[in-house]
Structure 1
Amino acid sequence: MPALVDAALVVVVMVLVLRRQMRPRRLDADRRFWLLPLVLGAVALRDPQLIDRRDTAWSVALLGCGLLAVLAAGSVWGWTVRLWREADGALWAQGTRATLAAWGGMLAIRFGLFGLGVALHLRQSSSALLLGLAVLLLVRSLVVHWRARALAPPFAAVP
């Protein structure tokens, strides 16, 4: 039952995050963007089934490949978000079609890795998906906040 709950949590978080990303929204630089990924990561790491003990090497390699893939996908996702400042200085963000393509590519990679795990007869925990989602969200938020800091205010004071 916990695996089903984890899988449902992954799906719910992914749908909510993607839906929210596609709408224009005001970015709050003071918001604790790392909190949700931290909670998701903690929930994933508590699972003793995260690594298949029958074939630890392949299981760790597959988990590592999955985490590298979401690191790359999170970076791409962060760079595909459109950022702008309004006249009042407020920072805004909105996902683009490229954001959807990044998500599609990430899902294709995840399905491919899952298929490889099945072919290797590995037990795959849904916690690996949860951990990947945590890394994905954290990397994406880091990239967006880094890019946002580089945006100049709409009008700078002239000395």
Structure 2
Amino acid sequence: MQAVGMKAEAVASILADKQDCDVLIAAAWLHDVGYAPGLATTGFHPLDGARWLRHVRFDDRVAALVAHHSCAQLEADERGLRSDLDAEFDREQSAVADALWYVDMTTGPDGQDYEVTARLDEVRSRYGPDHIVTRFIDRAEPDIVAAVRRTEDRLKAAGNQPM
């Protein structure tokens, strides 16, 4: 989580609006909070984390970005939780959402930088071919890669190199 948060701090400058920068950074630092044992109720960390953020009255937009980070709606489908996710949290499609997916899906579990397709392969190898997460990644790959590429394009247009 720390590497994702720090990467968000570094790429937030591509967002013109200061509020968008702050929202991206907060969502990046908090995107995996739902893995915390005391917060896990469904076992689906985007939804568990977003529900906790809402419970503690954190910013609604941050909670929604956490709920839907990195194509979470497709994993929610796999887990039978899509209707809960969609009913409780709006899905934002924006440069901020893309940037959140970028910082998440180009950072490995030990904080190392990855090219997005290598990161997706890393996830698949960690979970194995029959795991629900692997099935989700297989379905989500085109959308995840597209969001990452859009962010890379924004970084290049701003004169920054993708990380």
TM-score w.r.t. the length of structure 2 is 0.27
Higher strand share: 1
TM-score (norm 1): 0.28
Which structure exhibits the higher relative contact order, with contacts defined as CA atoms closer than 8 Å and separated by 6 or more residues? Answer: 1
- Structure with bigger gyration radius: 1
